[in-house]
Chain A
Amino acid sequence: MARHRTKRRVNGGNTQAPIPMTSLMDILTCLLLFVLKSVVLEGEVISPVPGVSLPESSSNHAAQNSIAIAIFDDVVMMDGEVIASVSKAVKSDNLMIAPLASRLRQTYAKSEEIAKLRGDTEEFHGRASIQGDREISFAILQRVMFTCSQNGYEEISLAVLEKS
């Protein structure tokens, strides 16, 4: 290397030295392979709602396009907006959570209209994905599921973290 540089300076006064890029190329190649391994090529990518600690499961079903309902602490959220309180919903004898039901009906109507405008021949089926914190009780899960199924969202899936 030193001999090479010296020669260039002597010959033409050109001080430009080649940068050794082999090691950088190695790093980039490793990084590229690692990132390629992490890229999801099929299904819908679900990002866990901040604050929700999803349970781990051996299920490897890819998520599909659906509305997201998160349940954690004392909050029921839909599409990032707080809709109802867990403690109030659980105290009620009624399995239907009224604010969530109203929001689901609005969303269903909008989605159905979009499907019609798009010219979909198949009947629109609502699909909901529930992101529940691992500590929530079945009481709130049952109420959310019941509310979904009674308002057009009959295809329900539970979001979980894939066990490594």
Chain B
Amino acid sequence: MPRRSRRSSGHVVDGYLELMPLMNVLVALLPMLLLSAVFVKVTVIDLDAPPTAEVPVPAADKPSLALAVTIKDDYYVLEGQQISKRVIQRAAADAGVQLAGALADVVVQHPENQEIMIISQPHTRYEDIIAVMDISREAGLPSVSLLGE
């Protein structure tokens, strides 16, 4: 509804805002932004190339802790040079939580270590590898390398 204000002289002033220029700007801006908008955000996980038998890793480059999570069919194996080996059943509903807890313990005991190796079998699903990488990163081990068994 138009808004009218009465002035002292008695004239009626039409109070419509001139919105057309603003509309034009918005109509030009919207398609431009829609084109550059991303509704499903794709991010990346940076990692090192897997060392293989053809490219052996020099002993000096190995992390001192050599922390590794092996993804087996039924369980995760967490092991390293100065830590006790732990086996976590993958069928358990809280397998991820248990693994996160075990990794968090390692991080507390060895705060200098930032590296972890994820050892997969040839038929390990990519999604499972990404899940373990997420758990490792969230536990405070950002440097992840992938290895094959």
Contacts and interface: CB of A to CB of B under 8 A. Distances in A.
A20 B19 CA distance: 10
Nearest to A63: B44
Contact of A136 (B37, B43, B126, B134): B126
B43 A162 contact: yes
A58 B146 contact: no
Interface string A72-110: 000000000000000000100001000000000000000
Bin the interface of chain B by size. Answer: 35 or more
Contacts of A36: 33
A153 to B, nearest CB: 9
Contact of A38 (B26, B39, B131): B39
Contact of A57 (B19, B30, B130): B130
Interface residues of A, number: 59
A50 to B, nearest CB: 13
Interface string B34-56: 10111111111111111010110
Interface string B109-149: 00000000000111111110111011001100000001010
B19 A21 contact: yes
B1 interface: yes
Contacts of A21: 19-20, 23
Interface of B: 1-2, 16, 19-20, 22-23, 26-27, 29-30, 33-34, 36-50, 52, 54-55, 120-127, 129-131, 133-134, 137-138, 146, 148
Interface of A: 1, 4, 18, 20-22, 24-25, 28-29, 31-32, 35-36, 38-40, 45-48, 54-64, 90, 95, 129, 132-139, 141-142, 145-146, 148-150, 154-162
